[in-house]
A and B are shown apart, each in its own frame.
Chain A
Amino acid sequence: MSDDAVLEVTDLHVSFPGEKGRPLAAVRGLSYQVRRGETLAIVGESGSGKSVSSMAAIGLLPTNAKVTGSVRFRGRELLGLNDKEMSRIRGAGIAMVFQDPLSALTPVYRVGEAIAAAIRVHREVTSDAAMRRAVELLELVGIPDPARRALAFPHEFSGGMRQRVMIAMAIANDPDVIIADEPTTALDVTVQAQILEVLATAKQATGAAIVLITHDLGVVAGFADRAAVMYAGRPVETAAVEELFAAPKMPYTAGLLSSLPRLDAGRGVRLRSIPGAPPSLAELGAGCPFAPRCAFAVDLCRTTEPELLEIGQGRAAACHRTGEGLDLMAGPSGDSGLADQDSDTAPEAASDAEGAPTEPEAPAKPEAAAVAEPIVGAEPVLTVRDLIKHHPLTKGSIIRRRIGTVRAVDGVSLDIAAGTTLALVGESGSGKTTTVMEILRLRTPQGGSISVLGQDLEALNQGRGVRRRAQPVRAGIAAVFQDPLASLDPRLPVGDLLAEPLRTHGHGKTAGRVRELLEMVGLEASHANRFPREFSGGQRQRVAIARALALEPRLVVLDEPVSALDVSVRAGILNLLADLQRELGLAYLFVSHDLAVVRHVADRVAVLNLGRIVEYGDADSVFEDPRHPYTRALLSAVPVPDPVVERQRERIVLPGDPPSPVVLDGDAEALRGCRFRSRCPLYAALEKPEARELCESTDPALTPVGDADRSAACHHLDAWVPALVQSGTVA
């Protein structure tokens, strides 16, 4: 097998000098081979060593890194080559695609020049020929009007287009290996689908092997042939993708797979969560690094680290108990595997904390039980009608003149009943966050009306003492933001953070409530004296959730609450949110771009595009039978972490980028008709001119669909309904 391998990494070790002279081992013994035309995925969470290993392979690590082992490219040893020799291979033989294309492209070069320069570094061609080739490459990666766009600068491109340019540059010299480091992580889901297609095209055009580094198992399932799962710097399982997803042999892989929220699973299914957090490299002990989080750990695991052993054709796993035929996906019979604890300081607390359906030990409020089940016709905690938020777009620094309008939110109506979850879904620029901030700031809306807990904001903001009168409303609504490290003041200990809302709202004694809150979210009372930085990501988000709950709110706004977290701790947070909702009767406004997560938590869904709701209704019904073409495209773009399903699915890839909500002054054309039609596959497929004319002339309003509880904004709702998610997999 190794004879036709283009890139062969054997026993790669990378370490950095750590504090107190102890080296930090970032990669410990990674081996893999890739052949031409093959895609190998390296999967892992932050700190697993997946990026460092590929940087080591192409010699791009800082000089203080110590690299040992062997990296062979077409039989030639790369480790130990000097920078000049490596430069000849980098870009020509091995190419890279980075996560953030804006920082990877030099801002002062036109993209065509940049690609041409990449060609001329390795080949003796005239600059004209190189430029012509650059235009060809841009066309290959799907950049419209490539000859003109080649003369544009990187900042004039959108994120997705920049990533296409990066791919064009990567394939410029017909490389044998393309290393793609999280190439789609920074992109919207519809753009991610496009970029994966472009990568596939690039692979076909060059016949190169692709090493795809990612944390997204959905992408792996759809795109890779083989996968290596890394944990704490070591590969813990390697297998063909189908086998990996069907029968993982290492408890970590199994845990990851079963903790993923899936688009094709039903709502409210409890996720299995892996307790604890990924270990830091500085604190690795003698045993298996996964043992503290592993439900199957035996004494041997805590003393000896298992070797990665071959267990079949192209298959290897690093686990002492591989041969025992355990059913890893089913989980152990005991409760410990299901524990939601994510505190790595208290493993004993983790094991006896909460089992599958928890006994609510938190002080249940009297009304909590009453609203546990969403009651039909329950009083709304939030009502938004035709909300509008436009900001002027100005130009010039001394004399500002208005050149257009950013129509961030352009007529949004929402209702949330007590104790239920409404999810707000959309791509970047769709107005999700603006909508949420308009609600949270409790100001008089620019247009339309907002009523929080029965209190109309316009009435609230009139007259005297607004601040004082707004306090009870503020106490009833709380927020959890995306990145807990950013939303928790780094200079305040957790106790003070949790006490802040209490003190703001005039509660004198806070110590008792702080302790109660910490326990409610699965942390310990002694954590109150620590600072946010001393916690892991999942624990920090628990602190943020505890702070939101301090005043016993009735509505909690969750703005992308799990997007910034590692995959293995997401499930714990989602389960916690579900438990809290049941125990405290909370209503959630859940904002997310991740449809799989939304599928898991939402009772109702509102799909946002360009500041408008295009589809609104019961979550089950929207996900199983999406009616608006945008919803359909969004759903089909989300990768399902199951290679069998993923490869059979019919995909609707939306052309172009998420459009910008900016409308220039005097551009009446932009406001005419349905604003989605430029990307709409349905509009493109319409045959009758009068049907197209309708889309071009009239802006569709939300109209009821089917049962009374759903609505969608499209003129041609009944035109064409392809099956998007395989019907058999819908639970």
Chain B
Amino acid sequence: MTAEELVLAQEESAMTAPEPVTLGRGRIVLRRFLRRKLAVAGLVILVLMFALAFIGPYLSSWNYKDQDYNNFLTGPSATHWFGTTQIGSDVYAQTMRGLQKSLIIGLLAAVLSTGVAGIVGATAGYFGGWTDRVLMWFVDLLLVLPSFLILAITSPLFHGRTWLLFVILLAAFNWMVTARMVRGLARSLREREFVTAAEVMGVHPLRIITRHLLPNMASLLIIDATLNVGGTIIAETSLSYFGFGVQPPDVSLGTIIADGTDSALNYPWLFYPAGVLLILTVMAVAFVGDGLRDAMDDAAGTASSTSTPGDAA
């Protein structure tokens, strides 16, 4: 145990001085998370992005559906803060609308897909046997069936439904590879002694999965979810071909970027606002993910690195 940890321990005991309070894992992780500057910064950025996405549209007099027939493809100005598009739409209003859509779609689909992957993979890996075979057979089936084909076939059914269905579809075609990785990890974790210890204590199998297996692969799950956020925001555009979710005149960051890419050099305002916001979003999510991972994983160094330096004697 290092001197810094001692300091940390003393801090902790000082905080809880009169009657030592036993904190659960959640509280400890939260406390450690809040100690990480970068992670908190990421969280703040995310909150600001949401604020921008939902308050931003009211700051400008333009609506994302409006078209200004006097201004086609004009650069940023006092009336059109981010300029206008080929058909005279206000880029600022479109970007704000796009941010709204993309934040919700990206975060929700990422969490959903990682969650399904974690639960299915861990269940298959932990129970083994027939559970494993059936679940993995299903995963393999989804992997080999071309998802676009299924979408093309089923798209008439879903046409014009809510965006929530769209989120579910995005997640549904994204979780299988992770599920296979999780299953592999679960199979090796199952052999670890702490799982055996929980089993002989009589802990319920589902509780073992949620309480012991999944937290021990938190790094993988968090990284997966982080990558998924950016991935789904972009992937969403390709699904738009099939008439799901975001349809013109509605926009998302993905569609704005897709439309603006061709003219990025000539008319940069079509592309950059959405691009920068996307990068900011993914970065903020990555910081939060990193912080969460470090907070869960108590590697001796990181736990104390943000505790008062200099006190370490």
Q: Are B1 and A280 in contact (CB under 8 A)?
A: yes
Chain B residues with CB under 8 Å of A528's CB are 20, 22-23
Q: Is the C-beta of B197 less than 8 angstroms from some C-beta in chain A? A: yes
Q: Mark A707-724, 1 if CB is under 8 A from B, else 0.
A: 000000000000000000
> Does A511 sit at the interface, judged by CB under 8 A?
yes
A493 pairs with B1, CB closer than 8 A = no
Please pick, from A280, A500, A535, A536, the residue contacting B198 in the complex, using a CB distance under 8 A. A500
Smallest CB gap from B298: residue in A: A531
Which of B100-108, B176-184, B200-208 is found at the contact surface with chain A?
B200-208
Residues of chain A contacted by B28 (CB below 8 angstroms): 493, 529
In the complex, the answer to whether A529 meets B22 with C-beta atoms within 8 Å is yes
Determine if A493 and B23 form an interchain contact, defined as CB atoms under 8 angstroms apart.
yes
Contact A282 B3 (CB under 8 A): yes
How many A-B pairs have beta carbons closer than 8 Å: the answer is 121
Contact with A along B282-313 (1 / 0, CB 8 A): 00000000000000111111010000000000
Q: Give Cα distance in the complex from A525 to B22, angstroms.
A: 8
A 42-69 contacts with B by CB, 8 A? none
- Decide: B202 and A533 in contact? CB cutoff 8 A: no
We find that the number of chain A residues with CB closer than 8 angstroms to chain B is 51
Q: Bin the interface of chain B by size.
A: 35 or more
Of chain A, the residue at the smallest CB distance from B12 is A529
Instruction: Give min CB distance, A140 to chain B, whole Å.
Output: 40
Smallest CB–CB gap between B72 and chain A, Å? 57
List chain A residues, Cβ under 8 A from B16: 526, 529
Picked from B13, B20, B25, B303, the residue with its CB within 8 Å of the CB of A496 is B25
Taking CB as reference atom, which chain B residue is nearest A495?
B22
B296 to chain A, nearest CB (A): 6
Alpha-carbon gap, A492 to B202, bound state (A) = 18
B297: min CB distance to chain A, Å? 7
A496: chain B residues within 8 A (beta carbon):
24-25
Chain-B contact segment, one of A190-198, A482-490, A576-584, A662-670? A482-490
In the assembled complex, the Cα of A140 lies from the Cα of B44 at a distance in Å of 72
A290 interfacial by beta-carbon distance below 8 Å:
no
Kindly supply a per-residue 1/0 record for chain B positions 6-44, scoring 1 wherever the CB is within 8 Å of any chain A CB and 0 otherwise: 100100110010001111110010000000000000000
A688, CB-defined interface residue at 8 Å? no
Pairwise interchain contact B197-A283, C-beta atoms closer than 8 A: no
Cβ contact within 8 Å between A535 and B23:
no
Q: Is A27 an interface residue (CB 8 A)?
A: no
A329 CA to B164 CA, complexed, in Å: 75
Of B62-70, B211-219, B226-234, the stretch lying at the interface with chain A is B211-219
Q: Which of B22, B28, B196, B204 has the most CB of A within 10 A?
A: B22
**Considering residues B3, B6, B9, B200, which has the most beta carbons from chain A within 10 angstroms of its beta carbon?**
B200
- Against B, the Cβ 8 Å flags (1 = close, 0 = not) of A523-562 are 0111011110111100000000001000000000000000
Asked whether A474 lies within 8 Å of B20 as measured between CB atoms, the reply is no
Among the listed B5, B24, B296, which residue makes an inter-chain contact with A491, where contact means beta carbons less than 8 Å apart? B296
Interface of B: prevailing SS: helix
CB distance from A279 to the nearest CB of B (A): 9
Query: Is A400's beta carbon under 8 Å from chain B?
Result: no
Partner of B20, one of A344, A489, A515: A515
Question: Once bound together, how far apart are the Cα atoms of A560 and B21, in whole Å?
Answer: 33
Measured CB to CB, the closest approach of chain A to B306, in angstroms, equals: 14
Asked if B259 is an interface residue, CB under 8 A from chain A, the answer is: no
Within 8 Å of chain A (Cβ to Cβ): is B77? no
Which residues does chain B contribute within 8 Å of A531, judged by CB atoms? 298
A483 contact set on B, CB distance < 8 A: 193
Report the Cα distance A471→B298, complex, angstroms: 33
Q: A441-B200, A486-B192, A526-B12 are in contact. Are A534 and B218 (CB under 8 A)?
A: no
Instruction: Given A345-B6, A493-B28, decide whether A488 and B202 contact each other with a Cβ distance below 8 A.
Output: no
Q: Given the complex of chains A and B, what is the CA–CA distance between A409 and B104 in angstroms?
A: 58
In whole angstroms, what is the CA distance A265 to B211 when docked?
45
Query: Is A470 in contact with chain B by the CB < 8 A criterion?
Result: yes
User: B199 contacts A441, CB within 8 Å?
Assistant: yes
CB of B204, distance to nearest CB on chain A (Å)? 7
B22 contacts which of A487, A490, A501, A514 (Cβ < 8 Å)? Answer: A514
Neighbouring A residues of B158 by C-beta, 8 Å? none
A504 beta carbon closer than 8 Å to chain B: yes
A345–B6 Cα gap in the complex (Å)? 7
The reply to whether the CB of B194 lies closer than 8 angstroms to some CB of chain A is yes
B1 touches A504 (CB 8 A): no
For the complex, is A359 an interface residue (Cβ under 8 Å from B)?
no
Any chain B CB within 8 A of the CB of A505? yes
Question: For the complex, is B2 an interface residue (Cβ under 8 Å from A)?
Answer: yes
Within 8 Å of chain B (Cβ to Cβ): is A481? yes
Kindly provide the distance from the CB of A492 to the nearest chain B CB, expressed in whole angstroms: 6
**Contact A535 B20, CB 8 Å, known A345-B9, A471-B202, A487-B197:** no
How far does the Cβ of A14 sit from chain B's closest Cβ, in whole Å?
20
Q: Is the CB of B200 within 8 A of A488?
A: no
Interface residue? A232 (CB, 8 A):
no
Kindly report which residue of chain A lies nearest to residue B216, judged by CB atoms.
A491
Q: How far is the CA of A578 from the CA of B12 in the complex (A)?
A: 32
The CB with the most chain B CB atoms within 10 A, among A441, A489, A528, is that of A489
Contact call B202/A505, Cβ cutoff below 8 A? yes
A441 proximity list for chain B (CB < 8 A): 199-200
Task: Pick the most buried of B13, B24, B203: most chain A CB atoms within 10 A of its CB.
Answer: B24
Q: Considering the chains assembled together, what is the distance between the CA atoms of A530 and B201 in angstroms?
A: 22
Would you call A533 and B298 a contact (CB within 8 A)? yes
Which residues in B have their C-beta under 8 angstroms from that of A690? none
Measured between beta carbons, the chain A residues less than 8 angstroms from B198 are 489, 500
Q: Which residues of B contact A489 (CB under 8 A)?
A: 194, 198, 211-212, 215-216
Q: Once bound together, how far apart are the Cα atoms of A474 and B200, in whole Å?
A: 7
**A344 proximity list for chain B (CB < 8 A):** 1
Interface centre among B9, B23, B197, B198 (most CB of A within 10 A): B197
CB proximity of B1 to chain A, nearest CB, Å: 6
Nearest residue (CB) in A for B24 is A496
A481's partner among B12, B21, B197, B300 (CB-CB below 8 A) is: B197
CB distance from A620 to the nearest CB of B (A): 31
Given contacts A526-B13, A533-B300, whether A495 and B23 have CB atoms under 8 Å apart is: yes
Alpha-carbon gap, A160 to B272, bound state (A) = 68
Hey, which chain B residues are within 8 Å of A19, CB to CB?
301
B202 touches A474 (CB 8 A): yes
Output the nearest chain A residue to B25 by Cβ-Cβ distance: A496
Q: How far is the CB of A54 from chain B (nearest CB, A)?
A: 27
Interface residues of A in 460-486 (CB under 8 A from B): 467, 470-471, 474-475, 478-479, 481-483, 486
How many whole Å from B308's CB to the nearest CB in chain A?
14
- Alpha-carbon distance A467/B296, docked complex (angstroms): 31
B2, B5, B193: the one within 8 Å of A487 (CB): B193
Residue of B nearest to A514 (CB): B22
Question: A440: CB under 8 A from chain B?
Answer: yes
Closest to A510 in B: B22
CB-defined contacts of A474 to chain B, threshold 8 Å: 200-202
Q: Out of B1, B196, B297, B298, name the residue touching A345 (CB < 8 Å).
A: B1
In the assembled complex, how far is the CB of residue A320 from the closest CB belonging to chain B, in whole angstroms? 23
Chain B residues near A526: list those with CB within 8 A: 9, 12-13, 16, 20
Tell me, rounded to whole Å, the shortest Cβ–Cβ distance linking A440 to chain B.
4
Interface residues of A (CB under 8 A from B): 19, 280, 282-283, 344-345, 437, 440-442, 467, 470-471, 474-475, 478-479, 481-483, 486-493, 495-496, 499-501, 504-505, 510-511, 514-515, 524-526, 528-531, 533-536, 547
The 10 nearest A-B residue pairs measured at CB:
A474-B202, A495-B22, A486-B193, A526-B13, A487-B193, A531-B298, A440-B200, A491-B215, A528-B22, A525-B20
- In the assembled complex, 14 residue pairs joining A and B whose CB atoms fall closer than 8 Å, in A order, are A467-B204, A474-B202, A481-B197, A486-B193, A487-B197, A488-B194, A489-B198, A489-B211, A505-B202, A514-B22, A526-B9, A526-B20, A529-B16, A533-B298
Q: Could you list 7 further interchain pairs (A-B, Cβ under 8 angstroms) beyond the known A474-B200, A487-B193, A496-B24?
A: A283-B3, A470-B202, A486-B192, A487-B197, A495-B22, A495-B23, A504-B203
**Which B residues lie at the A interface, using CB under 8 A?**
1-3, 5-6, 9, 12-13, 16, 20-25, 28, 192-194, 196-204, 207, 211-212, 215-216, 218, 296-301, 303
